[in-house]
Structures are given as structure tokens and as C-alpha cells.
Amino acid sequence: MIDPPREGVKEAVETCRKAGIKTVMITGDHIATAKAIAKELGILKGTDSAITGEELDKIPDEKFEKEVMNYSVFARVSPEHKVKIVKAFQANGKVVAMTGDGINDAPALKMADIGVAMGKGGTDVAKNAADMILADDNFVTIVEAVKTGRHIFDNIKKAIHFLLATNVGEIVVIFIGLLLGMESPLLAIHLLWINLVTDSLPAIALGLEPPQADIMSRKPENPKKSLFADGLWEKIFLEGCMIGMLTLLAFTIGNKLYSLEIGRTMAFISLSMLELIHSFNIKSDESILKTRIFENPYLIGSFILGAIMQIGVASIGPIAVLFDCIPLNGAQWLIVTAISICPIIIMELQKKVNEVRFGKRIYTFPKTVR
């Protein structure tokens, strides 16, 4: 007698495999039944093995820890075996999520990094021992939760990346300007406006980015790895320097060719537009030519709104006076525009360099035979 697997579970198991997640079946069923179901679902593939609780008792803990990655099915197991299995995977540096519904599952749920109890059929003991309760008792929902978690992490990382890079850029403008003995390229009111508008709007929009197409085709993140690993600190610093130096270039051109006030106006507009345009570079580590630029209406909206507000502040008489800005002529706007689009070219080169140094985020798995 075999209880047929739920719809969508086979596809969810395959999604886990592509995402670098090993799915393991732990059951009280006979090993022949367990292997049949595991093969049908794609859990037992290639060189993967199945083992019973009786056989598990004969293997010393140290030896089992070395061999545990070879097993995908554990049949006829006791609560003690479940704890032993969880510990063995953890000993290999794996993050273990354990599902269960009965009282005998409670010790393993407690031991696992993420204990997941069944919300419908689970006992109160299992629910109290777990970290999460699965409301619909469906494995597919766990996989969707993993996807959502990766999506949230990605967006937090993008927002932090953008905010730090743009703030480094503002620091570079002021600091380098002082070191070179320049008149202040930006006034306090300019920096306040940039922090309120051109920093905040794109950062919020990046936090609302839809999940990338490859989100479940990547190697899992090491929980011990810093948020700024894989060269992120370098990228933030270099991008900040890029924004800062381009802003100083706009100021220098305006100051030398026209006047101090026009130089500040050009620097003010350039810095705002540089940050707005740079937000599109943060969308993905892939080339901007390979990303769907218009898939996030919030980012498009933040760019349009930010650009309109920035141009209005620098061009509308009474407001421009408040910000000590001078209306620019056609040639000056052309210079500002040319400087503002430079991050696209520079970032495309940087992404290519990072791809060579750290490799692509997507990775493939060797094909296995059933």
C-alpha cells in the first residue's frame, strides 16, 4: 500500500536539487516502499543509498558522519535515529531543516537548525519544539519559503549596496574637494536633498525588486559568510569613488568654464542623476543588457520622480534660489547628461572583471542517472 505523493512535490524536489538543497526522506515505512516513493519523487538518484534504522545502529557515529551525505532515504527509524541523522548532517557543516508531526519527532525538530512542524496534522508537542509551523502541511510551501527568503536577502543586499555606495560617493566629493583646496562643491542643503530624495527613493524601490530568474539555481549562501563577502566591499568603495570623482569632474568643468555657482549646480544635478542611474546597475550582478530593466515599476517610478524633482529644484526660479542653483544652458545640460550616464559603461566593465575574479553566481549540477 503506497500513499501517492502530493501534486507538485516531484517538481519541488527537483527545484531543491538545482538550488543546492539535498532532500532526504526519513520514514517509518519499509525500506522497499520508501525507496519506491523516493525514486518516483527524484529523492533517490544515481549513487544515492537507502538505509534502515537497524543498519544505522551498526555504524559508529564518526563513520556515519563521514558517510551521511551518501544517503537519501532512511527507513524504519526511531526518534533516536532522527536525532543522529540531524547531528551527522550538521557535523558536515550543513544547515538542516527537519519536518515532523508527531511526539517522537520533537527531539529531532529541536536539534535541527530549522524545525518545521505540521500545522494541520501536527501534535502540540511537535509544534512547540519547532521553529516554524507549516500551515498547509505541504512540502511545496517549504520550497516557496526558501525562494522567498533568498528574494528578501537579495533585496536587502541590493538596498544596502546602493545606500553605502552613494554615501561613499558623497563623502568622496566633500573630502577630495577639501584636500584639493577647492571651494565646497556642494552645500549642506544639496546633501540634505540628495539624502532625502535620490538616496531614499531608489533604495526603497530596490527593496521591492521581483525575484531574479536564477534565484533557485544558485549555490546556497554560507551562513558564516559576511554580507559583504565576494568583493562587495570593494564594489561599494569603487562605485562610491566613481560617483564622487564624476561629480567633482562636473563641478570642475562648471567652475573653470563658467562660475562657482554653475559648477555647484552642475555637481548637484550630476550627483543626483548619477545615483538615480546607478540604481539600475545594482539590480543584478549580470550585465544590464541581460536584465529586464522595466520589470520593477517602482524603480522606474523612483527614477522618473527623482529626475523630475531634481530638474525642477535646479530650474524653477524660487526653488532654485532656495538651493543656490543657477539655471543651466544647453551645453551645460549636455555635459551633465554625458557625465551622468558614465556609470553604466564603468559598471559594465566592473561586472565583467568580478565575473572573472569570483565566477558567475549560477552553477550547474552534474547530471545523475536514476
Residues 349-370, mean pLDDT to the nearest whole number: 56
Q: Where are the domains of the chain?
A: 9-143, 148-358
Displacement of CA 332 from its chain's centroid (Å): 39
Q: How confident is the model at residue 51 (pLDDT cuts 50, 70, 90)?
A: very high
> Average pLDDT for residues 271-282, to the nearest whole number?
94
Q: Does residue 361 have a pLDDT over 60?
A: no
Q: Which secondary-structure segment (H or E) carries 70?
A: none
Alpha helices in the chain (DSSP H): 9-18, 31-41, 53-57, 61-67, 79-91, 106-111, 124-129, 139-179, 188-196, 200-206, 232-257, 260-281, 297-315, 317-322, 330-340, 342-358
Q: pTM for this one?
A: 0.85
pLDDT at 3: 59
- Residues contacting 200, CB < 8 A, separation 6+: none
Distance from C-alpha of 129 to C-alpha of 108, rounded to nearest angstrom: 9
165 grid coordinates:
555606495
Q: How far is CA 301 from CA 206, 244, 294, 369, in A?
A: 11, 25, 10, 48
pLDDT higher than 80, residue 368: no
Q: What is the pLDDT of residues 125-147, one digit of tens each?
A: 999 999 999 998 888 999 999 99
Burial of 345-359, coded b for 16+ CB within 10 Å and e otherwise, reads ebbeebbeebeeeee
Residue 269 reports pLDDT greater than 60: yes
pLDDT at 4: 62
Cα(245)–Cα(95) distance, rounded to whole angstroms? 43
Give the pLDDT confidence score for residue 359 in this predicted structure: 63
Amino acid 294: pLDDT: 86
Beta bridge partners of 287: none
148-358 CATH fold: Calcium-transporting ATPase, transmembrane domain (1.20.1110)
CA gap 315, 309 in Å, rounded: 10
Average pLDDT value over all residues in the chain = 89
In the CATH hierarchy, which fold is given to the domain comprising 9-143? Rossmann fold (3.40.50)
For residues 343-369, give the mean pLDDT.
Answer: 64
Containing 183, the helix (H) or strand (E) segment is: none
The DSSP string of 252-303 is: HHHHHHT-HHHHHHHHHHHHHHHHHHHHHHTT-SS-TTTS-GGG-HHHHHHH
Q: What is the reported pLDDT for 43?
A: 92
117: three-class secondary structure by DSSP:
strand
Which residues, listed in sequence order, are joined to residue 100 by a DSSP beta bridge?
A: 117
CA-to-CA separations, 10 to 37, 119, 237, 252, in angstroms, rounded: 10, 22, 44, 62
Could you read off the pLDDT of 327-341 as tens digits, one per residue? 999 999 999 999 999
The whole-number pLDDT of residue 56 equals 92
The one-character DSSP state at 69 is G
Kindly provide the b/e burial profile for residues 5-35, where b requires at least 16 CB atoms within 10 angstroms of the residue's own CB: eeeebeebbebbbebebebbbbeebebeebb
pLDDT band at 2 (very low <50, low <70, confident <90, very high): low
DSSP calls for 303-351: HHHHHHHHHHHHHSHHHHHHTT-----HHHHHHHHHHHTHHHHHHHHHH
pLDDT tens digits, 183-218: 889 999 999 999 988 889 999 999 999 998 889 988
- Which cell is 45 given? 538518484
* Amino acid sitting at position 51: I
The C-alpha cell of 214 is what? Answer: 536564477
Cell numbers at 233, concatenated: 566591499
Q: What is the pLDDT of residue 292?
A: 80
